[in-house]
Amino acid sequence: MEFQGKKQTILCLSFVTLFSLVGLLCAEIDGSPNIVVEEVHVGVILDMGSREGKIILSCISTALSDFYHLHNNYSTRVILHTRDSKGKALHALSAALNLLDKIKVEAIIGAQTRMEANLLAELGEEAKVPVLSLSGLRTSPFGAPGEYPFFVEITQDETSQVTAINGLLEMFKWRDVILLYENTDYGRDIIPFFINSIEEANVTIVYKSCIAASSADEQIIEELRNLTKLKTTVFVVHVSHFLVPRLFLNAKKLGLLSEGYAWIMTSTSMNFLHFSMDPSVIESTQGVLGLKSYTPASTRLHNLTSRLRRIFYMQDPNIEVSAVTPDGIWAYDATWALAEAVERTSTSTGLNLVNLNNITSSKHGLLLLQEILQTRFKGLSGEEIQYANGKLVSSAFEIVNVIGKGDRRVGFWPCEEKHTRDSYPLNNRRNLLSTNDLETIIWPGGSSTIPRGSKMQVSTSSEIKLRVGVPVKKGFNELVHMNHDIQTNRTYFTGFCIDVFQAAISKLPYKVNYEFVPFEVSSVTYNDLVYQVFNKTFDAVVGDTTITSVRSQNVGFTIPYSDLGVGMLVSNENEDMWIFLKPLSTDLWITSAGFFILTGFIVWVIERPVNPEFQGTPSQQIGTILWFTFSTLVFAHRQKLSNNLAKFVVIIWVFAVLILTSSYTATLTSIMTVNQIRLNSRGDYIGYQSGSFTQGVVKNLNFKGLKPYNSVEEYALALSSGSKHGGVSAIVDEVPFIKIFLAHYPTGYSMIKPESSTNGFGFVFPKGSKLVHDMSMQIEQMREKGKLMEMEKVWFDKRTILMFDNTTSDPNTLNFHTFRGLFLITGVSSAFAIFIFIIFPLKEKWYAVKKFRFKYQVREKLQRVRKFFSRKVSNETEENQ
């Protein structure tokens, strides 16, 4: 019985299963004729010879397989057409052209480099085909927004990690860093953004090291050896993963990864650190801190990793897939978004296969692009995926620390306000207020102590001893002056530069001892003095040392504490009795006088027939013309005008006179303030300060002769003598020196043509010194509080001169060319008025003549009619008789 019951149960289940299968088969057969599959062709351009290219292609293919397995009822199917870029931009461009011309693809996935991205972006824009790129554009982050609307960046935006790096620098209180980047388009494009952002965070980039990927090991070692000479020990690295092995292996050999150093790597190289590098490279990066794109673990991601591992085990055993790279994850999600957008485009427009092919490519490309940008879904890692404004919306970065054979996550940095799937709070950048928000970090050398960031030990308990060089020369003691006390045998230094240095250094949060050492600059240049800091003879230089780009290559300058620029000092000459004629050139004086007379004559012609004030004897009429026209200068004309044409002419002329008189007054005022100087390169001499920065400036001027001077008194004597009597016509010098001169000679001299061609005075320290940043901060605070201005008044304004801020520039004489438009308007207006005045009387006479002729003709016709009837009556009378 028991066997019989089991038999019946099995038979029942068999029948149920059989009927179910038959029903499904019938349903499939009935529904299949209604499904029309539309094939949408998509191009994929990758470096098929690289490990990364092969993994990305597998991710794309797997994404399509997963998508249509889940959405088997969709009426569209994406068909991939792969092309090999061979890692070269031109090959990628050629492949894209082939795909668009031969295959007629509707979208392109690829562009692993910035150069490829730019070329495909241009091509996609022309063809109106969406380009889903694995790299950003070369113009990023400063490119014009919306320049390539058909370009969609499907990877995380590199610029979003700059804020995270700034936060780490701020957290660890590092004020000086060394920026190390790769000499490629990929490396250089983002560097300006890095520099601006880091400097806005009050962090000084003491050195920017640029290394080419093609550099030999010897070149890399030489560059790294230069970095060992700097006192800064914090490195921010932005290079590709191809350069990382050689960079870090050589850096470790030179001791740059020992205790006291800190390295921060961007996600660009950290994302691939453990996917494409051997254990020796990972060993050399021990203690490195870096950023990685945040990809939370998920079941789908784990399954994809397992599938890829099996695929490559069968196809290419040399490629070991331990985890999917971020680019592979982003390519998978982008392919999913593209397949969804293709289906929505077909459904929303109601197109079938036939009319889909007939629609214009530009219209279909735009519809497809809009659907891609509007797509929002859960990605492979569980994060929400969207491409707002043509870019992948970034979620967060992991802060990782390289330890042992891998990296360990020590914290997060959010790109926007959100929460992860792990409910890790990512509110905003203020989540990381201190190092307590991070897990313990093991730094290079195996220490958990945060590196100080500089080899110079600076703290409240330590003291710094500086040997400060001070330039000593003749003249301009207000800036720097040395006094030697014979009784005490001690040397004292005074002056504006000394006061600023002492005030700034006294405000530092740590003790700095210094000793001033005189350096004679009469026989050498300031470049020699600055070089003494580079060769470590001096620890600093304080004085009137101009900041230049050449000097900055070897030493570090603080921000300027003096005025910027070079000015020209001249002697005022106000003895010319005809100075009132100088505002206008000769041709303008003659033209103005001619138009005065012409305007009066035209008004007289128009008004004379109807206005008694313009009538009389010839001499009276000439006097009236001259009086009327020249009285318009002060708007004092009293004659009443009767004709509207005359009024029109006078209105235009008064407007012209107003502009002329205003310009004349302004120019004369300028000339009276600072008499115009005209330097002749063949006949004038120019003076300059001997041994100063301006010595090189004036030597580039093509003048008859250049004369050096050393003091304020020599300046005054040379200018008062002039070029014709052994002196000079002008002196070129920096603004602070001219201020000092004008403090001694407040009248009789002025500055013209100030040019911001120099960077002012700065204090000199060794390159990489922490004092560069700290002293600059103190100088900036002194400027904001007005203390620098007070010091200037003490040293420069001893004789209560006016402040030098408002200098008068060199006025130019006004000429006819300047006002030719004004005279053209006046002349045309007068000609128009005289034309109307003449034409109207002629027209009235013509009408009178025409009217007279008409009356005469009518009278003749009437006489003819009368004669005709008279003859007819006479004839009839004769016939009757």
pLDDT of residue 32: 42
- Is residue 292 within 8 Å of 327, Cβ to Cβ? no
Higher local confidence (pLDDT), 513 or 299 = 513
Which two three-digit tokens encode residue 301?
A: 């991601």
Tally of CA atoms within 13 A in the half-sphere of 74 that contains its CB = 24
- With the CA atoms of 571, 574, 576 and 578 taken in that order, what torsion angle do they form, in degrees rounded to the nearest 10? 130
What residues contact residue 520 under an 8 Å CB cut-off, 6+ apart? Answer: 472, 473
Cα dist from 793 to 165, 269, 460, 500, whole Å: 43, 55, 34, 13
DSSP state of 489: T
Cα 82 off chain centre by: 39
Tokens, residue 322: 């331990």
Cα separation, 152 vs 168, whole angstroms: 30
Q: Is 290 exposed, middle or buried (0-12, 13-18, 19+ CB in 10 A)?
A: buried
Phi and psi at residue 579, to the nearest 5°: -65, -25
Residue 355 has pLDDT above 50, yes or no: no
pLDDT in tens, 363-415: 678 899 999 999 888 888 778 888 888 888 877 888 999 988 788 888 888 76
- What does residue 402 show for φ and ψ, rounded to 5 degrees? -75, 115
DSSP assigned state of 799: T
Nearest CA to 290 out of 275, 276, 272, 308 is that of 272
Q: Are 667 and 583 within 8 A, CB to CB?
A: yes
- Identity of the highest mean pLDDT range in 15-24, 295-304, 549-558, 694-703: 549-558
Radius of gyration of the chain (CA): 44
Phi first, then psi, for residue 396 (nearest 5°) are -165, 170
Q: Average pLDDT for residues 444-453, to the nearest whole number?
A: 87
**Residue keyed to tokens 């780490």:** 168
**CA 620 to each of CA 614, 615, 625, 647, 832: distance values in angstroms, whole numbers, following the listed order:** 8, 8, 9, 21, 27
| Under 8 Å between Cβ of 505 and 774 | no
Residue 87 pLDDT > 80: yes
Any residues with CB less than 8 A from the CB of 600 and at least 6 apart, and which?
A: 625, 626, 628, 629, 630
Nearest to residue 50, comparing CAs of 334, 324, 318?
318
CA–CA distances in Å: residue 175 to residues 196, 205, 287, 452:
15, 9, 20, 10
In this prediction, residue 812 carries a pLDDT of 54
Tokens in use for 851? 């009217």
Quote the CA–CA distance of 362 and 244 in Å, as a whole number.
Answer: 43
Q: What is the pLDDT of residues 118-171, one digit of tens each?
A: 899 999 999 999 999 998 886 544 444 567 889 999 988 777 788 888 888 888
Q: Which tokens go with 798?
A: 């001893």
pLDDT at 818 over 90: no
Alpha carbon distance 351, 528 (integer Å):
79
Burial class (CB within 10 angstroms; exposed 0-12, middle 13-18, buried 19+) of 350: exposed
Cα(740)–Cα(757) distance, integer angstroms? 19
Closest to 709 in 3D by CA, of 730, 734, 693, 690:
690
Confidence category of residue 61, pLDDT binned at 50, 70, 90: very high
Contact 351, 359 (CB under 8 A): yes
Average pLDDT over residues 277-302: 83
DSSP 460: S
pLDDT of 426 strictly over 50 = no
DSSP string, 85-146: -TT-HHHHHHHHHHIIIII--SEEEE--SHHHHHHHHHHHHHHT--EEESS--TTTTTSPTT
Alpha-carbon gap, residue 582 to 576, rounded angstroms: 10
For the record, the structure tokens of 432 come out as 């990381």
Q: Please count the other Cβ atoms lying within 10 Å of the Cβ belonging to residue 697.
A: 17
| pLDDT tens-place string over residues 466-484 | 899 999 888 888 888 888 7
